[in-house]
């Protein structure tokens, strides 16, 4: 619903921003009015429409109804008494949900529709969506429309919303290798992602520093690679829990097992996997990236990724491929010999390609698609046309906008992360710079631009663990969430600031440890436990 | 050990016989008033690591007692001050360990150190190495500034901060309690100040809240120095106190906005007298911080009555003289109620006549050693904050920069350097509230804590990193959400 309709509704909404709730992210089409309806918690229900493809028993929505009841009606602390029932406003006693197609027991995917419409007027209080995932998005918006009077009564304004995401892949990366994140931190993050309509959890599970993923095929990986195998691991049960918790919120889990670099923690559990580095003719005792010249390497990868493919049900796996340091490979005489035999000369990018291509065919055989970091593209590895390339480097080898241009010109789908490294903190309100990024701001045809499927905010873990994860993530990641969901015309920083500060207070009310954007206050401040 | 003790070289050359103890009896000698802070039991023994029973090694002797002795009048019922003696000695050998101090303040510091010496071995047995420690702080003023005006901080957050300060041997809480944005301090004499000036009626510190903070701090040997910043930074005061702030003019007409406190009215000084009289009774510390920073002259310049006053006084167009006029009168008021004053550096820079003993806090980063030199040359004590603005966050290990600062690295004589009484890490509140205060303060402020306590030659960054990572885990275990220094993990 672009064009004048949108502008009108924006202006109207801006005028009513004082009255209407703090919507975040801003829907594609919003029309509100001053008329409002009363809601009485004891008398309000979420109901399935008789013709809905989703009915009671649909776990995704049954659970969501419960969650949103709690979010709306049971405050963490302050709860004024129910006001006397003399309202002048007519009552809305239910939100009726009609879902077009079944799919309650399925997983969300990149292709899942997330459209919905919300109609709240004299005759209806109605949420319509094609899929259960759209219904989830609509429920979140609904929860942001309900407001309370100073006396404590609940109201909702007459509203008409048509909404859908601008980009289908709206992700958040967490790094559980540099610092272990307890399960509760991950689950809490998934909750807040849902409030922001994020739909992909990019789980950077392992890296150089530690290997917390509990592998059943190779238990030594975890035993020797985790910080502490008794306490700092994710068991199969934990992983299942994360995947289901995410699913119930319409969030895909994109698991990343980054190779051939970033693999030091894999070494202790799988002797012979990593390349031994040499000084002259003697091994130094240190190790480099995965050894690409041994058959055993590929046997291991086959078995390991067979497990990973079965544990993580999303169609896509992230295979990493970033920052491969060639120094160790260069130093190793066996590798030098191999390079000669293969005719790679001194071009280690070809060796890297060799490894990655072999890995990609292993993973393809398991019927998985894959996402890789941009180096895989930059180093001209031969990848399948449906590979997704994630752009993370701001200036090298080119500015990220140029990189987006090159990737899409070559026909690959792209994910943008470069300007959204939330671990890069600075003094002051950096959320606005994050907000003002325009993912399609590069030279390209409409077909090229259509290949940008979205982006991801990244929270790398060198300096982050459960002590500071939530305030560092929120509300800053919200800026990315809106940029990826809302229309490209929604760019006013002032309008965003008004809503995001309100939304932040709502996050606090919901128990999220979201830090302040600027000076000010919320009615309910965060209380440490 | 964090905040390396004064004679630290000895600590590392001690022979490593090991004691184990599951229970420690603490005997107090000569200190009728001193009650052993039970919290130290929890800090030492309440680890989650399961205990597989005392694995008695042959060479292990059990440490059965910590004998605490206070040599002089303990000062148990007093408030700590700038002259408080925080020195102590700690000897751990044989079945009894000795903690000796002149005053209770030293006992508190010694207990903290003792609690940091104890660790659990791989069996979970509580162990402490034979040690001989002689310790006292390099600087007597080691502070943390919190700002409760830009964002209200719940009492719980302030108390947690005091706990963490004690773990780091900080001894001053500089409470920047009010400012432009809000006035959360509930004044008994002028209740409208917070009624109209606070963010909301639930964003207020009652007299009881303030008492709670002061006593909680005292029990940790921490002074509470309130800052009521004026004449600038006072927008919120004007909400509840009419005619206090200067009305700004747009030509001949009032614009409706207000500027700093109006320095030309008698009513201003009448108000300030009464207000600071109350403040002097509510806050028991010897010193009060009067602010005096960043005074905007534009509003004064626009006001015809102010201009007329300037003329009458012979100040010409030099508004610094008007500012100094105000500050001097305020200093007079404060000395009447028998308090010492601390001011921000502008008060000195802009040539106000200060009573001897007025402390100047140096906060502007440009060439701060030059400022230190100038202030001490004029004979005034200095608190250094300029390199320690912890609200200025950046990516990476910025604690190293804080650690590398040498507070005495400026051109001056020995006497001048003695005037540097310490420093303060400042956590201004524009972007900080209870959601992110603790990880933003700790462990970065710990770097400042050691710089102010330990000797000048304790500056090895590698060693500091090793100890600080352990200290950070210890703080986390004790319920302080101190953020990580770098990649890694804590053992619990």
CATH code for the domain of A355: 3.20.20.80
Q: Nearest CB to A426: which of B393, B397, B438?
A: B393
Which whole-number Å values give the CA distances from B490 to B304, B312, B467, B472, in the listed order? Answer: 64, 67, 13, 9
- B258 shares its domain with B180: yes
- H helices present in B72-153, as ranges: 104-117
Residue ending a domain, among A144, A161, A178, is A161
For residue A11, the model assigns a pLDDT of 54
> Does the predicted TM-score (pTM) go above 0.90?
yes
Lowest mean pLDDT among B56-60, B396-400, B415-419: B56-60
> Reduced to 3 states, what is the DSSP secondary structure of residue A190?
helix
For β-strands B172-176 and B223-227, DSSP reports them as: parallel
- A175 shares its domain with A301: yes
- A154 shares its domain with A171: no
pLDDT average, residue stretch B12-34:
47
Q: Please check whether residue B18 lies inside any domain of the structure.
A: yes
ipTM of this predicted complex?
0.92
For residue B94, the model assigns a pLDDT of 76
Closest CA to A526 of A14, A82, A77: A77
Crossing angle of the two packed helices B155-167 and B207-218, in degrees rounded to 10: 10
* Chain A closest-CA separation from residue B276 CA (Å): 27
Residue ending a domain, among B88, B110, B134, is B134
Report the greatest alpha carbon distance in chain B: 91
For residue A20, the model assigns a pLDDT of 52
Tens digits of residue pLDDT in A20-30: 558 999 999 99
Question: Which residues of A make CB contacts under 8 Å with B?
Answer: 178-180, 209-210, 227-228, 232, 423-429, 461-465, 467-468, 470-472, 508, 513-521, 523, 525-528
Which DSSP string do the residues of A32-97 spell out, in sequence order? EEEEEEEE-GGG-EEEE-TT-SS-TT-HHHHHHHHHHHHHHH--SS--PPPPPS--SSPB--EEEE
Crossing angle of the two packed helices B155-167 and B461-477, in degrees rounded to 10: 140
Q: Which residues of A touch B432 (CB under 8 A)?
A: 515-516
CB A230 within 8 A of CB A291: no
Tens digits of residue pLDDT in B456-469: 999 999 999 999 99
- B324 shares its domain with B259: yes
Q: Which residues of A touch B164 (CB under 8 A)?
A: none
Classify residue B314 by burial, with Cβ atoms within 10 Å: 0-12, 13-18, 19+.
exposed
Q: Please check whether residue B432 lies inside any domain of the structure.
A: yes
* Chain A closest-CA separation from residue B221 CA (Å): 24
- B222 shares its domain with B281: yes
Q: Nearest CB to A180: which of B433, B476, B489?
A: B489
Mean pLDDT, all residues of chain B: 91
Q: Please check whether residue B484 lies inside any domain of the structure.
A: no
**Which residues constitute the domain of residue A425?**
167-508
Q: Using CA atoms of B471, B474, B478, B481 in order, give the dihedral in degrees to the nearest 10.
A: 70
Q: Please check whether residue A528 lies inside any domain of the structure.
A: no
- A145 shares its domain with A246: no
pLDDT at A85 over 60: no
Residue ending a domain, among B112, B134, B156, is B134
Q: Which residues of A touch B392 (CB under 8 A)?
A: 427
Which of the following is catalytic: B73, B192, B294, B415? B294
For residue A15, the model assigns a pLDDT of 46
Residue ending a domain, among B70, B104, B134, is B134
For residue B7, the model assigns a pLDDT of 39
> Reduced to 3 states, what is the DSSP secondary structure of residue B11?
helix
Number of domains forming the structure of chain A = 2
Cβ within 8 Å, pair B181-A425: no
For residue B9, the model assigns a pLDDT of 25
CB B60 within 8 A of CB B18: yes
pLDDT average, residue stretch B336-344:
98
User: Among this protein's residues, is B305 annotated catalytic?
Assistant: no
Lowest mean pLDDT among A328-337, B31-40, B384-393: B31-40
pLDDT at B6 over 60: no
pLDDT at A294 over 90: yes
Cβ within 8 Å, pair B431-A516: yes
- B149 shares its domain with B127: no
Peptide bond connecting A340 to the previous residue in cis, omega within 30 degrees of 0: no
Q: Please check whether residue A25 lies inside any domain of the structure.
A: yes
Strand partners, A385: none
The DSSP output letter for B354 is: P
pLDDT at B333 over 80: yes
Question: Which residues of B make CB contacts under 8 Å with A?
Answer: 150-152, 154, 156-157, 160, 181-182, 199-200, 202-203, 391-397, 429-436, 438-440, 476, 481-489, 491
Closest CA to A218 of A295, A290, A309, A304: A304
Q: Please check whether residue B182 lies inside any domain of the structure.
A: yes
Measured distance between the N- and C-terminal CA atoms of chain B, rounded to whole angstroms: 18
Q: Please check whether residue B487 lies inside any domain of the structure.
A: no
- A252 shares its domain with A133: no
- B271 shares its domain with B332: yes
Number of domains forming the structure of chain B = 2
For residue A82, the model assigns a pLDDT of 57
For residue B126, the model assigns a pLDDT of 82
Task: Give the whole-angstrom CA distance, residue B420 versus residue B384.
Answer: 8
- A361 shares its domain with A256: yes
Cβ within 8 Å, pair A518-B430: yes
- A437 shares its domain with A492: yes
Cβ within 8 Å, pair A464-B431: no
Q: Please check whether residue B492 lies inside any domain of the structure.
A: no
Q: Which residues of B touch A232 (CB under 8 A)?
A: 489
Q: Nearest CB to A526: which of B430, B435, B487?
A: B435
pLDDT at A18 over 80: no
Q: Please check whether residue A91 lies inside any domain of the structure.
A: yes
Lowest mean pLDDT among A488-502, B119-133, B176-190, B436-450: B119-133
pLDDT average, residue stretch B27-55:
63
- A344 shares its domain with A226: yes
pLDDT average, residue stretch A220-238:
97
**Which pLDDT band, with edges at 50, 70 and 90, does A376 fall under?**
very high
Tens digits of residue pLDDT in B197-253: 999 999 999 999 999 999 999 999 999 999 999 999 999 999 999 999 999 999 999
For residue A157, the model assigns a pLDDT of 95
In which element (H, E) is residue B195 found?
helix B192-197
Q: Please check whether residue B491 lies inside any domain of the structure.
A: no
Task: Give the whole-angstrom CA distance, residue A225 versus residue A230.
Answer: 12
pLDDT at A384 over 70: yes
Which whole-number Å values give the CA distances from A279 to A96, A157, A264, A326, in the listed order? Answer: 70, 72, 19, 14
**Which pLDDT band, with edges at 50, 70 and 90, does B28 fall under?**
low
For residue A527, the model assigns a pLDDT of 87
* Chain A closest-CA separation from residue B488 CA (Å): 6
pLDDT at B56 over 90: no
SS (H, E, C) A434-469: HHCCCCCCCCCCHHHHHCEEEEEEEECCCCCCCCCH
**Which pLDDT band, with edges at 50, 70 and 90, does B279 fall under?**
very high
CATH code for the domain of B222: 3.20.20.80
Q: Please check whether residue A35 lies inside any domain of the structure.
A: yes
**Which pLDDT band, with edges at 50, 70 and 90, does B1 fall under?**
low
- Residue B136 CB-half CA count within 13 A: 11
For residue A6, the model assigns a pLDDT of 55
For residue A7, the model assigns a pLDDT of 54
Closest CA to B323 of B352, B298, B345: B352
CB A284 within 8 A of CB A278: yes
Task: Give the whole-angstrom CA distance, residue A12 versus residue A2.
Answer: 15
**Which pLDDT band, with edges at 50, 70 and 90, does B4 fall under?**
low
SS (H, E, C) A158-172: EEEEEECCCCCEEEE
* Chain B closest-CA separation from residue A222 CA (Å): 15
Q: Nearest CB to A521: which of B151, B393, B488?
A: B151
- B130 shares its domain with B145: no
Q: Please check whether residue A262 lies inside any domain of the structure.
A: yes
**Which pLDDT band, with edges at 50, 70 and 90, does B119 fall under?**
confident
Strand partners, B89: B100, B134
- A145 shares its domain with A217: no
Q: Please check whether residue A452 lies inside any domain of the structure.
A: yes
* Chain B closest-CA separation from residue A244 CA (Å): 27
**Which pLDDT band, with edges at 50, 70 and 90, does A126 fall under?**
very high
**Which residues constitute the domain of residue B282?**
141-478
pLDDT average, residue stretch A193-201:
98
pLDDT average, residue stretch A48-54:
94
Q: Please check whether residue B34 lies inside any domain of the structure.
A: yes
């Amino acid at each position: 619903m672009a064009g004048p309709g949108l502008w009108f509704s924006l202006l109207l909404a801006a005028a009513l921003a004082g009255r209407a709730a703090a919507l975040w992210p801003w829907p594609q089409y919003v029309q509100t009015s001053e008329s409002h309806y009363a809601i009485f918690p004891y008398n309000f229900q979420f109901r399935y429409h008789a013709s809905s493809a989703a009915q009671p028993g649909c776990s995704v929505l049954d659970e969501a109804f419960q969650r949103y009841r709690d979010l709306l009606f049971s405050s963490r602390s302050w709860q004024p008494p129910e006001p006397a029932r003399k309202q002048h406003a007519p009552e809305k006693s239910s939100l009726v949900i009609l879902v077009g197609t079944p799919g309650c027991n399925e997983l969300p995917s990149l292709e899942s529709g997330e459209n919905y419409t919300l109609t709240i007027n004299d005759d209806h209080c109605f949420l319509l969506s094609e899929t259960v995932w759209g219904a989830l998005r609509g429920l979140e918006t609904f929860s942001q429309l309900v407001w309370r009077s100073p006396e404590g009564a609940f109201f909702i304004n007459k509203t008409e919303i048509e909404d859908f995401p601008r980009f289908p892949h709206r992700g958040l990366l967490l790094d559980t290798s540099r610092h272990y994140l307890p399960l509760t931190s991950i689950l809490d993050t998934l909750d807040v992602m849902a409030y922001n309509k994020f739909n992909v959890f990019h789980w950077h599970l392992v890296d150089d520093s530690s290997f917390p993923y509990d592998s059943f095929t190779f238990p030594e990986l975890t035993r020797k690679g985790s910080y502490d195998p008794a306490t700092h691991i994710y068991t199969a049960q934990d992983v299942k829990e994360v995947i289901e918790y995410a699913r119930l919120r319409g969030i895909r889990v994109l698991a990343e097992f980054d190779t051939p670099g970033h693999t030091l923690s894999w070494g202790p559990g799988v002797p012979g996997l990593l390349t031994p580095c040499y000084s002259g003719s003697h091994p130094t005792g240190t190790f480099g990236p995965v050894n690409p010249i041994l058959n055993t390497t590929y046997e291991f990868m086959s078995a390991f990724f067979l497990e990973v493919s079965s544990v993580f049900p999303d169609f896509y796996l992230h295979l990493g491929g970033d920052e491969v340091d060639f120094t160790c490979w260069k130093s190793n005489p066996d590798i030098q010999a191999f390079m000669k035999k293969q005719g790679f000369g001194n071009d280690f990018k070809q060796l890297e390609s060799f490894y990655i291509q072999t890995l990609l065919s292993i993973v393809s055989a398991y019927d998985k698609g894959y996402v890789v970091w941009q180096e895989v593209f930059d180093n001209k590895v031969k990848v399948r046309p449906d590979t997704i390339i994630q752009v993370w480097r701001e200036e090298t080898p080119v500015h990220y906008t140029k990189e987006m241009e090159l990737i899409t010109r070559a026909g690959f789908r792209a994910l943008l992360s470069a300007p959204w490294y939330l671990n890069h903190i600075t003094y002051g309100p950096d959320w606005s710079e994050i907000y003002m990024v325009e993912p399609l701001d590069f030279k390209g045809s409409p077909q090229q631009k259509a290949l940008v499927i979205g982006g991801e905010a990244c929270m790398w873990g060198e300096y982050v663990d459960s002590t500071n994860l939530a305030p560092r993530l929120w509300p800053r990641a919200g800026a990315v969430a809106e940029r990826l969901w809302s229309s490209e015309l929604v760019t006013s920083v002032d309008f965003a600031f008004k809503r995001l500060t309100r939304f932040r207070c709502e996050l606090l009310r919901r128990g999220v440890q979201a830090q302040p954007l600027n000076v000010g206050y919320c009615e309910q401040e965060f209380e440490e436990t | 050990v964090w905040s390396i003790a004064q004679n630290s070289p000895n600590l590392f050359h001690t022979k490593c016989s090991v004691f184990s103890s599951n229970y420690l009896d603490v005997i107090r000698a000569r200190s009728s008033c001193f009650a052993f802070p039970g919290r130290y039991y929890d800090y030492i023994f309440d680890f989650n690591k399961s205990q597989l029973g005392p694995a008695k090694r042959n060479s292990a002797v059990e440490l059965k007692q910590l004998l605490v002795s206070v040599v002089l009048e303990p000062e148990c019922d007093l408030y700590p001050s700038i002259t408080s003696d925080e020195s102590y000695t700690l000897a751990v050998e044989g079945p009894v360990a000795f903690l000796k101090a002149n005053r209770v303040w030293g006992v508190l510091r010694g207990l903290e150190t003792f609690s940091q010496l104890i660790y659990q071995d791989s069996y979970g047995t509580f162990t402490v190495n034979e040690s001989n420690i002689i310790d006292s702080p390099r600087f007597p003023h080691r502070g943390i500034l919190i700002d409760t005006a830009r964002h209200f901080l719940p009492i719980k957050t302030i108390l947690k901060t005091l706990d963490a300060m004690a773990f780091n041997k900080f001894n001053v809480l500089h409470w920047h309690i009010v400012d432009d944005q809000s006035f959360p301090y509930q004044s008994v004499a002028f209740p409208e100040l917070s009624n109209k000036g606070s963010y909301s009626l639930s964003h207020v510190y009652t007299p009881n809240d303030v008492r709670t903070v002061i006593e909680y701090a005292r029990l940790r040997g921490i002074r509470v120095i309130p800052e009521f910043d004026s004449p600038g930074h006072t927008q919120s005061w004007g909400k509840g106190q009419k005619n206090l702030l200067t009305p700004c003019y747009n030509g001949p007409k009032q614009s409706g906005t207000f500027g700093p406190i109006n320095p030309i009215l008698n009513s201003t000084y009448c108000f300030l007298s009464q207000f600071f009289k109350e403040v002097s009774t509510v806050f028991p510390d010897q010193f009060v911080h009067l602010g005096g920073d960043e005074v905007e002259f534009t509003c004064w310049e626009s006001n015809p009555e102010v201009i007329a006053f300037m003329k009458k006084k012979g100040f010409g167009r030099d508004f610094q003289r008007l500012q100094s006029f105000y500050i001097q009168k305020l200093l007079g008021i404060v000395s009447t109620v028998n308090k010492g004053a601390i001011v921000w550096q502008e008060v000195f820079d802009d040539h106000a006549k200060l009573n001897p003993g007025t402390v100047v806090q140096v906060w502007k980063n440009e060439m701060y050693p030059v400022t230190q030199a100038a202030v001490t040359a004029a004979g005034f004590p200095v608190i250094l904050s300029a390199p320690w603005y912890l609200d200025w966050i950046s990516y990476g290990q910025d604690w190293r920069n804080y650690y590398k600062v040498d507070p005495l690295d400026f051109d001056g004589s020995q006497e001048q350097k003695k005037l540097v009484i310490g420093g303060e890490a400042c956590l201004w509140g524009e972007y900080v509230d209870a959601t992110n205060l603790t990880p933003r303060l700790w462990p970065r402020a710990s770097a400042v804590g050691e710089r102010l306590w330990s000797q000048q030659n304790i500056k090895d960054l590698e060693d500091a990193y090793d100890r600080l990572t352990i200290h950070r885990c210890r703080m986390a275990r004790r319920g302080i959400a101190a953020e990580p220094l770098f990649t890694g993990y804590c053992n619990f």
